[in-house]
Amino acid sequence: MTIREPQQERSRATHQRLLETTIECLAQHGWAGTTVGVVAQRAGVSRGAIQHHFPTREDLITSALEFIFDQRMAEVRAAAADLPEGAERVEAVVIRLVDYFTGVLFKAALQVWTAAAADPALKERVVPLELRFGRTVHTIAIELLGADDSDPDTHRLVQATLDMARGLGLADVLTDDSRRRSQIVATWAQHLSTALTRVRAPSAAGAPQ
């Protein structure tokens, strides 16, 4: 038992290191440059060790996307208690959403989505991932904003926010767009805060006394 536990810990540590390294490789070198050999070299493990955990390159890459996405979303939820209230909260949430779409994970995922567009087998694996990622980010945005997603206007406002964040992420792929991005985020957050207040107002007015 005492021998097996350290082995299991080492296996888990190797597993996580491979996933994190894969995301870094995708973001830096793209789909074509993220080979099993490159990941093995950067992670400091053998090709055989990778294939023990992930039989194919596609298994490795899609598992890495899922793992890092779930980890990132858990961190966002855990940090929700630190968000301010009122209009400042809306801007803080928009900033966090944009940070996700301009971060390493989004850049890595973008490489995979682009490759999948020309590869039917990969596309079949990737589309369900993209749908799950999209639903999860939308749900978290609703949670952080304290909004009512059953209201159609609210649903569209949040989706528009995510679409904007995704567009800013794309604009950031080739050049540093941070200065213009910060101005856009501040302006949109102000509009979003006003719009969400208007959406909530009728519900509050109609609530029983």
Structure tokens at 2: 């005492």
CB 65, CB 109: distance < 8 Å? yes
Of 175, 174, 179, 142, nearest to 161 by C-alpha is 142
At 100-158, the pLDDT tens digits run 999 999 999 999 999 999 999 999 999 999 999 999 999 999 999 999 999 999 999 99
The residue written with tokens 């995708």 in the block is: 26
* Euclidean distance between CA atoms 142 and 138, whole angstroms: 6
At 150-196, the pLDDT tens digits run 999 999 999 999 999 999 999 998 888 888 999 999 999 999 999 99
* Euclidean distance between CA atoms 158 and 144, whole angstroms: 11
pTM, entire model: 0.85
Beta-carbon contacts of 144 under 8 Å, excluding residues fewer than 6 positions away, are 76, 80, 83, 89, 93, 96
